[in-house]
């Protein structure tokens, strides 16, 4: 059997995953990326001798597809994964709280001891918290009705006061769904909490990159693609995907037309519709309905260390999450902290200087040592369309991998993966699209393993 030709449009996590799986399945693969780099929304840049990531991307132990991707590209040693969930939660002027799991108790009781001592909630709210968590663990994720209400409304009906939402529920909902509980679809939030915290004790252990994200994904991914025999074309814009009367596919750029037995478009949803043939998405308006939600990062470099924490969440502060990126930046002295602001509708339009001043002041309230430290540099990075907007009604707007054109498929964290817009969702979508593309191209000998 001769090799089939698969073309993948987009070099983010979904596209790279798909291209590698198709190459592993025996297909000839061409990957086309309009940027001059791979990695999609996870990238790095160098400034004044330091490496900066555009945003902070963490994962959990339950992100099995993403961990498999790291293994496939040879990057498993470039990440740190906690051996036991431990999240410090800071409040200005108050004691630090910890969300820690027991080494011995099963889920959902593995967090009981840390919640019993959690200083950011009155005792009555801690009791109500446990009741709500047990109820959330029992909801049916396949119930379409979950996507008809907000997570915040569900929490309110289960006795969660505003103080509990701010002190705990939003700590997880904001960075994973990229919306506060008051706006987030219950379907997406329930998926996060069930999979990450309520069904497997070790599932919520936190992982992060020990190197710049551009090296972790882009550089490592590029080497893996080359080793797999994938033709990678960067710096070239795809103009459209064409299907003739006999459904023969081709991908057109300003410099070439590539015929294909199967095509996977792995681009952000705002960029997809214009590339596809008219019959690909009967309801192309669904993609616009997904909307977008921004993320802003504020990077602060000090002349000395101000905290020994690798990362922390914050409440009662403009800071949501803060990460120590000193090691990955290549600093020999001082400390580099990155503040990650999800659902950043209010911050996306602020002047960088004003936002940097606000965050440096807020960091000094969280880390008293920062008050006597000198700020060496500040920088603001923005992803205006970081994720789709996971509000109620989102589920029916997310298309599956298949389109109305035979042999043409979609991939991306915005497709119908059952997950929010995360790295895990992106990788899962790439595996799903690869399996369908290989089948469509007649290459069924080595299909990607189904991701549970």
Q: How far is CA 309 from the centre of its chain?
A: 22
Into how many domains does the chain fold?
Answer: 3
Distance CA 298, CA 188 (A): 27
pTM: 0.97
Q: What is the pLDDT of residue 1?
A: 47
Q: What is the pLDDT of residue 286?
A: 79
Answer whether residue 207 is part of any domain.
no
- Residue-range definition of the domain harbouring residue 151: 99-201
Are residue 195 and residue 105 in the same domain, yes or no? yes
Are residue 372 and residue 405 in the same domain, yes or no? no
Cβ 434 vs Cβ 18: under 8 Å: yes
- Long-range contacts, 399-404 (Cβ 8 Å, 24+): 399/281, 399/286, 399/287, 401/429, 401/432, 401/433, 401/436, 402/436, 403/276, 403/280, 403/281, 404/279, 404/280, 404/281, 404/282
Q: What is the pLDDT of residue 245?
A: 85
- Residue segments in the chain with a per-residue pLDDT below the cut of 70: 1-2, 283-285, 450-452
Are residue 193 and residue 112 in the same domain, yes or no? yes
Last residue within a domain, chosen from 150, 179, 201 = 201
**Each residue of 275-306: b (16+ CB within 10 Å) or e?**
bbbeebbeeeeebebbbbbbbbbbbbbbeebb
CATH code: domain of residue 233: 3.50.50.60
Distance CA 420, CA 413 (A): 7
Q: What is the pLDDT of residue 422?
A: 98
Are residue 375 and residue 365 in the same domain, yes or no? yes
CATH code: domain of residue 156: 1.10.405
Q: How far is CA 302 from the centre of its chain?
A: 28
Are residue 268 and residue 356 in the same domain, yes or no? no
Give the tokens for residue 60. Answer: 């959990």
What is the three-class DSSP state of 234? strand
The pLDDT tens digits for 147-169 are 999 999 999 999 999 999 999 99
């Amino acid at each position: 059997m001769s090799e089939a030709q698969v073309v993948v449009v987009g070099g983010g996590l979904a596209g790279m995953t798909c291209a590698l799986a198709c190459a592993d399945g025996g297909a000839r693969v061409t990957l086309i990326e309009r940027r001059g780099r791979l990695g999609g929304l996870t990238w790095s840049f160098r400034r004044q001798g330091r490496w900066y990531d555009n945003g902070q991307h963490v994962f959990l132990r339950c992100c099995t597809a993403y961990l498999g991707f790291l293994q496939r590209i040879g990057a498993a040693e470039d990440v740190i994964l906690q051996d036991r969930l431990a999240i410090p939660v800071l409040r200005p002027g108050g004691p630090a709280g910890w969300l820690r799991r027991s080494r011995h108790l099963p889920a959902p009781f593995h967090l009981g001891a840390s919640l019993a001592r959690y200083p950011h909630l009155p005792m009555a709210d801690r009791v109500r918290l446990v009741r709500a968590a047990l109820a959330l663990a029992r909801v049916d994720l396949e119930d379409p009705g979950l996507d008809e209400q907000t997570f915040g409304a569900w929490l309110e009906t289960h006795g969660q006061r505003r103080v509990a939402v701010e002190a705990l529920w939003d700590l997880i909902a904001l960075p994973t769904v990229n919306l506060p509980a008051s706006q987030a679809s219950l379907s997406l939030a329930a998926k996060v909490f069930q999979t990450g915290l309520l069904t497997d004790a070790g599932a919520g252990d936190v992982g992060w990159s020990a190197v710049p994200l551009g090296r972790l994904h882009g550089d490592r991914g590029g080497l893996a693609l080359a080793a797999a025999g994938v033709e990678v074309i960067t710096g070239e814009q795809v103009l459209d995907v064409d299907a003739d009367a006999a459904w023969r596919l081709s991908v057109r750029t300003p410099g070439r037309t590539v015929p294909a037995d199967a095509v996977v478009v792995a681009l952000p949803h705002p960029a997809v519709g214009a590339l596809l043939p008219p019959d690909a998405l009967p309801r192309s308006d669904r993609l616009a309905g997904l909307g977008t939600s921004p993320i802003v990062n504020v990077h602060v470099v000090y002349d000395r260390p101000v905290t020994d924490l690798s990362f922390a969440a914050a409440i009662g502060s403009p800071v949501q999450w803060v990460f120590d990126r000193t090691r990955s930046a290549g600093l020999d002295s001082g400390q580099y902290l990155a503040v990650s602001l999800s659902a950043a509708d209010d911050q996306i339009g602020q002047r960088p200087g004003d936002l940097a001043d606000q965050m440096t002041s807020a960091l000094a309230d969280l880390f008293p040592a920062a008050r006597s430290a000198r700020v060496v540099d500040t920088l603001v990075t923005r992803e205006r369309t970081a994720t789709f907007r996971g509000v109620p009604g989102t589920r029916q707007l997310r298309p599956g991998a298949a389109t109305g054109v035979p042999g043409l498929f979609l991939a991306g964290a915005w497709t119908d993966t059952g997950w929010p817009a995360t790295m895990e969702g992106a990788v899962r979508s790439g595996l799903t699209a690869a399996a369908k593309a290989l089948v469509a191209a007649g290459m069924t000998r080595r299909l990607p393993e189904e991701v549970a």
